[in-house]
Structure 1
Amino acid sequence: MSVCGFRFMTFPLRLLSFVSSCALLVGCGPTDQSAPSKNADEAAAGLTPVIMQTDWFPQAEHGGFYQALARGFYREAGLDVDVRPGGPSSHVRLRVARGDADFGLLRSDDTAMAISQGLPLVMVAASLQHDGEALLVHADSPVQDFSDLDGQTVMAPLSMVWVSYIQKKYDVVFKLVPTTYGLASFFADPALVRSCYLTSEPFLAQERGVPVRALPLIDAEYDAYAGVVVRRELVRSSPELVRAFVAATLRGWEDYLNGDPSPADTLILERNPQMSQGQLDYSRAALIEHSMVAGFPEKGERIGAIDMGRLQHEIDRLREFDALAKALSAEDIATLEFLPAAK
């Protein structure tokens, strides 16, 4: 999962995105492919149809949702959930904002930018306490830290917010080249640095026998949530539905990490022919090793939790690096209303 949605780095890009988003939001209604479907049998059984739009193809990073689906946690909560795969053009923010999906998976920095551009979204839970974006280097690369990036060539999506953040924080300048969806160019160039995800590309390099290292962005204090977002109207009109979905999803994550992950794995493998059991095992282990889902208990983090102080710090950083169209508060971005109280 190298790209988790869309990230904007400069104001012109944000403005272009805002105009495009508004056009799509106003001019495009639900399509046959993405519109919520009503299943007569499920409705008769008293289940409420719900669409959850993910940000990428089925993978371990979505394990909690698929575990809740496979184990029947959503049905027990009265919900008939359709977990829909994403991809390079997921348009999660737009699909949720215009009602094509009820819930979506979106990073907290992307959520803040979408809300600053006028999209009526709110984050109701964290799917990942810590997003796994990182930089991948060859094992013998002279790049040991972000401060070593000066003069290097870095392959990453051109609109990534963290690019300007790293350059300013470490006072470095590097050549930025657009990402290709594959590792062939990285394998061919021992000097190349490229963006990666802790749960994915290191495994692919390992499979090829290429020794690599990863520099997690969290080590540079760029620390985003992967959040579950909804339309604000759904929060107002159907709070119990939101509460039920969040509770069942957190139960799914708890079970996927600490129980038998095979129910979710089976669904993921069925829905993503490119996925392998080896990749799922590696990714789940990485989710646990890096505390990406459960967070760090010593910091008060836990599955699903949102720290409003941390979120405000992230927003302030985005403003500092000119990534937000206007000032926002954490309360503009997220609500704790649907999360269980800390034990």
Structure 2
Amino acid sequence: IVPVVQHAIVEYDAAPERANKMIVDAVTQFEDFWVYDMDLAAFSVQAQRDLGLVGNGGDGIVGNMDPDRVQTVIDKIVFAGLDIPAGLSVEDIMTNEFIDTSIGFPIKPMEGALAGVCPDPLIIQTDWHAQAEHGPTYELLGQGYEAANGTVTGRLVASGEVDTGIGLQIVEGGPAIGYQQVSSQMYQERDIFLGYASTDGSVGSSLDQPIVNVMAIMEINPQMIMWNPEHFPGVEHAADLPGDTTLLAFWGAHNLYWLIDEGLFDASQIDQSYDGSVTRWVASDGAIALEAYASTEPYIYEVETPEYGKPVKYELLHDMGFQTYSQNYGVRPERLVEDRACLELLVPILQQAAIDYVHDGAETNATIVDVNAAYDDGWVYESGLADFANAEMGRLGLIGNGPDGTVGKFDMERVQGIVDIMIPVFANPEINTPILEGITAADIVTNEFLDSSIGFE
């Protein structure tokens, strides 16, 4: 039970609203002299944080008691002449034996920790318009930002409040960079420090524009294949859809060739003209299959598309066997040496940002919605979709721990599996992309900058 209580202390501090509501409700039902409301509860939580009333004990462990400190209290009581048992010792009144030493509050970086170590501003190139799937990145953006022409500029903050001493620029991908691959953009605009990358895409760029992924933003790829369960009753897996079902997908998706090679779909079924519009799906009433994102399209079609307005059914590509790491922070290889000191400090901040966003993404989602409104580039992104995506990424484990309970950590065997899958895909005459000869997982990912103590509880 003690580790459960330790977790509860950490989780309450991270997201106290639910527990505070229960406390206020309990006080109301007790109907005694005590009056307690949400404003006072929120003030109390913040005061506990500001004053350090809650936090880690020795060795960064929550709930861990310091025997020397306890002994000091005993000594002061004895000196004051208070009546206590003779010879009372620390061991008589405390023990740490049931404490889980792996549980503690994240250690926040010091203010200015990145100043003079990392580029200023530090530029992150994303792969699409600003959206909740980029939440861990926007979690780094401090207040007082400016957004224009596909770039938002502000301070790089850690744990939502600690100014790291440098600026941050987040640049949109997709149409903002002419639909170029992020890897290509990183070689054209060499000031870009981190770029969004995937392990399958990193295989494809390994020869001419190599990228090394330093942290997995998403543990599970949100891409899926969805269908209308009313039109395809009883279908539980995409492979069970009728053989004449059209699969609508974005152009050039690498996994389409894997689907064909695996015999899950025939090339004649695939239509690569999807552009994010709901038109084709609505016109067919879901009589087609669609490759899209589990964190986005189910909400769009059920809630934002009244012409359809029904739940969809889907299967994640991850569960079908295509287990790429689809959204990672990647760098050009030379940065592993030239900017090692920066990466050693920065990557743990990125890890914690992913956890903070999943635990409480409301403020960051509001930033994402505001940034899109400021760009005014035709992309519409509402708070309802952002909140849905944030919740689904947590519920489905899309953002979660990698091996050994470490957020952002790559499973090297899994990466090698994708390398092995993609070698014949890039050799396909329709793609014909030369890749690094003898490529292995170690050529495209590294776990060396991750803090193994940072993970979801």
Bin for the TM-score computed over the shorter chain? 0.7 to 0.9
Residues 5-53 of structure 1: per-residue CA shift (max 9 Å, x gap): xxxxxxxxxxxxxxxxxxxxxxxxxxxxxxxxxxxxx989x98321001
- CA separation in 2, counterparts of 1:180 and 1:319? 27
Q: Which among 270, 284, 288 is matched to residue 176 of structure 1?
A: 270
Residue 212 (structure 2) pairs with residue 140 (structure 1): no
**1:80-133, Cα deviation, whole Å (9 max, x unpaired):** 111112224153111223314111111111112111x32132111111111111
The answer to whether the 8 Å contact 2:204/2:426 transfers is no
Partner Cα distance (2:191, 2:120) in 1: 15
1:303 — aligned with what? Answer: 407
Of 279-288 and 92-101, more deviation after overlay is shown by 92-101
Matching residue within 376, 385, 399 for 1:293 = 399
The question of 1:234 aligning with 2:335 is answered yes
Distance 2:426 2:124 in 1: 31
Q: Which residue number in structure 2 is paired with residue 125 of structure 1?
A: 215
Q: Which amino acid aligns with 1:303?
A: V
Residue 43 to residue 249, structure 1, CA distance change in 2 (3 Å): closer
CA distance in 2, matches of 1:128, 1:171: 25
* Inter-CA distance 284–320: structure 2 relative to 1 (3 Å threshold): same
Q: Which amino acid aligns with 2:262?
A: K
Contact 1:128 1:227 survives alignment (8 Å): yes
Q: Which string of whole-angstrom CA distances, capped at 9 and with x for unpartnered residues, describes residues 273-296 of structure 1? A: 222111111001110111011147
Deviation at 1:340, TM superposition (A): 1.2
**Aligned-residue CA RMSD (Å):** 2.4
8 Å CA contact retained: 2:362, 2:387: no
Alignment partner, residue 251 of structure 2: 158
From the superposition, tell whether residues 63 and 235 of structure 1 become closer, same or farther in structure 2 (CA, over 3 Å).
Answer: same
1:203–1:77 distance in 2 versus 1, CA, 3 Å = same
Identity across matched positions, percent: 23
> Take 2:249 and 2:172, find their aligned partners in 1: how far apart are those partners?
23
**1:43-58 mapped onto 2 (5 Å cutoff):** 48-58=120-130
Structure 1 gaps of 5+ residues are 1-41
- Which letter maps to 2:131? Q
Ranked by relative contact order (alpha carbons within 8 Å, sequence separation 6 or more), the top structure is 1
* Partner residue, 1:315: 419
CA distance 1:191–1:327, shift in 2 (3 Å): farther
Q: Which moved more, 1:134-143 or 1:61-70?
A: 134-143
Name the aligned partner's letter for residue 187 of structure 1. Answer: V
Question: Could you give the per-residue CA deviations for residues 252-301 of structure 1, whole angstroms, max 9, x where no partner exists?
Answer: 1111112x3233122211111222111111001110111011147xx645
Which amino acid in structure 2 is aligned with residue 176 of structure 1? Answer: I
- Are residues 1:198 and 2:288 paired? no
- Equivalent residues, number: 297
Deviation of 1:155 (Å): 0.8
Structure-2 separation of matches of 1:219 and 1:43: 42
Q: Which of these two proteins has the greater Rg computed from alpha carbons?
A: 2
TM-score, structure 1 normalization: 0.79
Residue type of the partner of 1:106?
A
Q: Any conservation in 2 of the 1:146–1:170 contact (CA below 8 Å)?
A: no
* Inter-CA distance 223–276: structure 2 relative to 1 (3 Å threshold): same
Q: Give the partner amino acid of 1:92.
A: V
Structure 1 position 342, deviation (Å)? 5.1
The amino acid that maps onto 1:254 is I
Aligned to 1:276: 382
Q: Give 2:281's aligned amino acid.
A: F
8 Å CA contact 2:215–2:347 kept in 1: the answer is yes
* 1:60 maps onto 2:60 in alignment: no
Instruction: Decide whether the 8 Å contact of 2:215 with 2:409 is kept in 1.
Output: yes
Aligned to 1:73: 158
Deviations 1:168-220 (A, max 9, x none): 22354242212132111111113111111011111001113133111210121
Name the aligned partner's letter for residue 390 of structure 2.
R
Native 8 Å contact 1:187 1:210 kept in 2: no
Supply the distance in 2 between the matched residues of 1:231 and 1:193 (Cα, whole angstroms). 37
Alignment partners' CA distance in 1, 2:127 and 2:420: 25
Q: What secondary structure, in the 3-state scheme, does the structure 2 residue paired with 1:131 have? A: coil
CA distance in 1: counterparts of 2:363 and 2:195, whole angstroms: 22
Instruction: After the TM superposition, list the runs of 4 or more consecutive aligned residues in structure 1 that deviate by more than 6 angstroms.
Output: none
Alignment-mate amino acid for residue 85 of structure 1: E
Structure 2 Cα separation of the partners of residues 342 and 113 of structure 1:
32
Q: Please report the TM-score for the alignment, with normalisation by the length of structure 2.
A: 0.60
Residue aligned with 2:169, SS: strand
Check the 8 A contact 1:256/1:264 in 2, yes or no.
yes
Shift of the alpha carbon at 1:244? 2.5
**1:82 maps to what in 2?**
169
Distance in 1 between residues matched to 2:405 and 2:129, nearest whole Å:
27
Q: CA deviation at 1:320?
A: 4.2
User: Does the 8 Å CA contact 1:97/1:230 hold for their aligned counterparts?
Assistant: no
CA distance in 2, matches of 1:82, 1:158: 29
Q: Is the 8 A contact 1:97 1:121 kept in 2?
A: no
- Of 437, 446, 449, which residue of structure 2 is paired with 1:335? 446
Contact 2:217–2:399 (8 Å) recurs in 1 = yes
Per the alignment, do residues 62 and 155 of structure 1 end up closer, same or farther by CA in structure 2, a change over 3 Å counting? same
Structure 2 residue aligned with 1:106: 197
Q: Which amino acid in structure 2 is aligned with residue 319 of structure 1? A: I
More deviation, 122-131/160-169: 160-169
- Residue segments in structure 2 that go unaligned for 5+ positions in a row: 1-113, 144-156, 374-379, 428-432
